[in-house]
Structure 1
């Protein structure tokens, strides 16, 4: 290859490659703008039309430590703000398929899950609607009508009826409350209230 031909090819490549890249970027941009959201497949189980009407975050996770030392984690399939504009005031969030986990300093734990829940930043509570399943590391597996979880302290309140398995048998009650106990390195206290009925099943 002579010097003149090499110089010509060099000039063509210097000009042609940037132009090709620009054309490719324009094509990608135009195609992305022409996508019909009504024809797009569902993403993470969400309806594209509903996502347009109600912006939400998919697979959200919230983690913190309460004032009394319990590690609290709340995750959800999706989260949507009830406020028209996020950041204009206290948050009110709608959770879909929420799951909560509490880990206590003594390594014991409790978890719950529900179909929906609402987090109220002003009140500092998460209210889950039933049926709500509550389990703990001591072997309780309970179904509740509804559950309220405080965000700044260890306190779960179950209402609307309690029905499930206890380590010693089956148990029913009107309500329950789970709180911290035992000092800085303690675990939790689970108390049943109202009409409590325990059917003991011997081993």
Structure 2
């Protein structure tokens, strides 16, 4: 990656990833390490020719708090920008091996990961096509067909089929939605929708 291109991409990530404080009301921090193309053969699934065509930033981590009080962290094996310059328009960022963690004021938490996700600055959302794995501190361990996470508020939706385990047994559904619940010290509400089936497994 050339120095000017690396500088442009780094500036774009630092300035664009807050998704504008007015839009998202989040504070976002970026810690990144630039990839050295000459060392790419030593990094799994990375090809020097691919790096030349699609420059990227490695080991990126973004953290902030949504306007309704949920701490959100997104880390990724690498991040690639769909625009070469900030002036080219709203950022479209591709995350490889993203992992998201949501921590709620009542100390409950949720984690999700996928092989690839897209961050759309215009819409202020992170989307990932399945399989997406989701688990939370209440004992749900689920596989989602697709996931959409809002970045300015606590709202996560899973679509295209939900399958996994719940505290009471096996569960299937068409979709799910997670939102904040309660007041400033609240946790979250997880709702399954569509064709919901629960195979109850008593202890």
TM range (shorter): 0.7 to 0.9
- Aligned pair 1:128/2:128, yes or no? yes
For the aligned residues, what is the CA RMSD? Answer: 1.4
- Aligned pair 1:80/2:80, yes or no? yes
Kept in 2, the 8 Å contact 1:57–1:80? The answer is yes
Query: Where does residue 101 of structure 1 map in the other structure?
Result: 101
Query: Where does residue 189 of structure 2 map in the other structure?
Result: 189
CA distance change for structure 1 residues 41 and 117 in 2, over 3 Å: closer, same or farther?
closer
For the residues of structure 2 that align with 1:41 and 1:81, how far apart are their CA atoms?
A: 19
Instruction: Give deviations 1:154-202, integer Å, cap 9, x for gaps.
Output: 0000000000000010000000000100111000000000000001001
Query: Where does residue 19 of structure 2 map in the other structure?
Result: none
Number of matched residues?
166
Secondary structure of 1:42's partner?
Answer: helix
Secondary structure of 1:51's partner?
Answer: helix
Stretches of structure 2 lacking an aligned partner (at least 5 in a row): 1-36
Query: Where does residue 89 of structure 1 map in the other structure?
Result: 89
Kept in 2, the 8 Å contact 1:44–1:58? The answer is no
Instruction: List structure 1 runs of 4+ shifted beyond 4 angstroms.
Output: none
Secondary structure of 1:101's partner?
Answer: strand
Query: Where does residue 44 of structure 1 map in the other structure?
Result: 43
For the residues of structure 2 that align with 1:93 and 1:42, how far apart are their CA atoms?
A: 24
Deviation of the 1:43 alpha carbon: 4.8
Query: Where does residue 70 of structure 2 map in the other structure?
Result: 70
Secondary structure of 2:52's partner?
Answer: helix
Deviation of the 1:87 alpha carbon: 4.8
CA distance change for structure 1 residues 50 and 86 in 2, over 3 Å: closer, same or farther?
farther
Secondary structure of 2:58's partner?
Answer: strand
For the residues of structure 2 that align with 1:43 and 1:166, how far apart are their CA atoms?
A: 40
For the residues of structure 2 that align with 1:92 and 1:118, how far apart are their CA atoms?
A: 7
Query: Where does residue 156 of structure 2 map in the other structure?
Result: 156
For the residues of structure 2 that align with 1:102 and 1:40, how far apart are their CA atoms?
A: 33
Stretches of structure 1 lacking an aligned partner (at least 5 in a row): 1-36
CA distance change for structure 1 residues 195 and 88 in 2, over 3 Å: closer, same or farther?
same
In the superposition, the TM-score normalised over structure 1's length comes to 0.79
Deviation of the 1:141 alpha carbon: 0.2
Query: Where does residue 55 of structure 1 map in the other structure?
Result: 55
Query: Where does residue 19 of structure 1 map in the other structure?
Result: none
Which structure has the bigger radius of gyration?
Answer: 1
CA distance change for structure 1 residues 99 and 41 in 2, over 3 Å: closer, same or farther?
closer
Deviation of the 1:52 alpha carbon: 1.2
CA distance change for structure 1 residues 42 and 109 in 2, over 3 Å: closer, same or farther?
same
For the residues of structure 1 that align with 2:191 and 2:75, how far apart are their CA atoms?
A: 26
Query: Where does residue 144 of structure 1 map in the other structure?
Result: 144
